[in-house]
Amino acid sequence: MKMPLCFLWRRGILFCIFQVFILHLFAQWHVEAESPQTRVLWRNDTLDITSPKGLSLWWEQPLTAPCTITYRACVVMEGGPYDRLSDLNCFWMASEPFKCITARAGRFVESYRLQCYYLGYGGNYNTTTRFRRYNGDTLAVTDPVHRPPILKEYTDSDHLLKPNHWYAIRIDVQADGRTRYFLDEELLVDYLDPSPLLHGWFAFRTTWSHTRLTKYNVTRIK
């Protein structure tokens, strides 16, 4: 049975709109990858990320406080070569105060050049969950003595990663310098910064893992 030309035309238009929408979404993410084997693919409305080494996935639009960041993310454990239960991490309100020439290229140590908030959920082979505030000290790249202190830490199993679980993440940044991190509606971090970071960028961060990310959204708070 042949379909009417008007139906085919409309279906073609809708498909083209969908393709443009997907390309627009993908173009809004900038990939910093340590390995050339890194793969970031769109599958329906979800980013499927295979990262043999370090990867930072930056949203190109800057953030300004007050705002709320929400997304859903999962660490995939399906027997793949890079499936490892570790490192569902992120940076927010990130900037480079000294405009460093050296490219990060996905290497984690280069992130110490940033001013930002950082939450590493299930890091160190899923043994720690830690919150830090990076201060942009370039000496920290090579000297551990200069690296930022841990401001909040969890090591119990209730605050470590579960395989193939879709986490709902919400990050609030207020104009007074208070930042809060929620995971599945549980408040993990509530930090009032005496020198608040009110402008910057967001990045999803992981290493040696297979992860998925969807429904990323930033809402400005009036």
Q: Measure the CA–CA gap between 106 and 48, rounded to whole angstroms.
A: 17
Q: Is residue 14 part of a domain?
A: no
Residue 113 lies in a domain: yes
Q: Which of 66, 63, 65, 87 minimizes the C-alpha distance to 75?
A: 87
In a domain, 108, yes or no: yes
Q: Answer whether residue 12 is part of any domain.
A: no
3 is a domain residue: no
Structure tokens at 39: 């793969």
- Domain hosting 89: range is 31-220
Mean pLDDT for the stretch of residues 162-184: 98
Banded pLDDT at 171 (limits 50, 70, 90): very high
* Per-residue pLDDT reduced to its tens digit, 32-57: 999 999 999 998 889 999 999 999 99
Is residue 77 packed enough to be buried (19+ CB in 10 Å), middle (13-18) or exposed (0-12)?
middle
Residue 139: CATH number of its domain: 2.60.120.560
162: number of CA atoms within 13 Å, CB side? 9
Give the pLDDT mean for 97-117. Answer: 78
Is residue 156 situated within a structural domain? Answer: yes
- Whether residue 13 is contained in a domain is answered as no
Q: Could you tell me if residue 2 is inside a domain? A: no
Does this model's pTM top 0.75? My answer is yes
Per the structure, the count of domains in the chain is: 1
